[in-house]
Amino acid sequence: MDKLSLFGLIIGVSAILGGQVLEGGHLSSLLQPTALLIVFGGTFGAVLLQSPFATFKRGVRMTAWVFFPPVINYDRLIGDITYWSQLTRREGLLTLEKFTGQIKDDFTSKGLQLLVDGVAAEHIREVLDAKLTTFEDQMRQGARVWEAAGGYSPTIGILGAVLGLIHVMENLSDPSKLGAGIAVAFVATIYGVGLANLVYLPIANKLKAHVTRLVTAREMLIEGMVGIAVGDNPRLIESRLQGYMFKEMQSDKKAPKRR
């Protein structure tokens, strides 16, 4: 479990609620079902209107990655590719056929099958690059569902504020109803901006970071299998793949600067 994501969410929400209490406000004043309905329902509808259902469903499923990210063992990946390379140099490409049925990952299994079939290296790269492009596009579209929610939510919050002020203007003659309308107006804005910046956009950025990691792993597989196909030395293949590890570490260092 990614505890950092959980702690970040708790700290962000607690800071806002704690600030409300320290200013002498009541937490109950932030509980406005009407404002929540306007902001959450309006954002949900806008995202559904924008996204194909398959993309929306993929984006919702990917939310689990925020707290339970996909596990990628780069050392094991490099070890497997190096082992396959050593094996093929001793026994030939056909020896990889026994692995095609054991591996659950379709991408890896497809690459091994292409090697067993004796497909030329340039065609292996072409086929796997096409699969990788499709995979990356689908995953990034799923992450953009949350990015879109982060874009719409503040605007819907402002819409809720305007609706609240309209309610206030309609009841100027009845002071007892003014407080509720003003509360909805301001709380709707808080919900819109808060959900966007504390939930939707952080989720989108976290998912995009995980997609980048998955794409890197598949790029390593492509490079390794092409190296096996052309008969490169296993040590050369291993050294080449270690370069992706350096690239991944550099990405982690630069991650806070990403938009």
- Tens-place pLDDT, residues 53-77: 999 999 999 999 999 999 888 889 9
Give the Cα separation of 166 and 86 in Å (integer): 74
Give the Cα separation of 124 and 86 in Å (integer): 19
Contact between 178 and 168 under an 8 Å Cβ cutoff? The reply is yes
Q: What is the mean pLDDT of residues 36-47?
A: 93
Q: How far is CA 55 from the centre of its chain?
A: 13
pTM over 0.85: no
- Is the pLDDT assigned to residue 41 strictly greater than 50? yes
Contact between 200 and 144 under an 8 Å Cβ cutoff? The reply is no
Give the Cα separation of 108 and 228 in Å (integer): 13
In this structure, the number of other CB atoms found within 10 A of the CB of residue 22 comes to 8
Q: What is the mean pLDDT of residues 96-108?
A: 86
For residue 24, report the phi and psi dihedrals to the nearest 5 degrees: 90, 5
Q: What is the mean pLDDT of residues 135-144?
A: 94
* pLDDT value for 255: 42
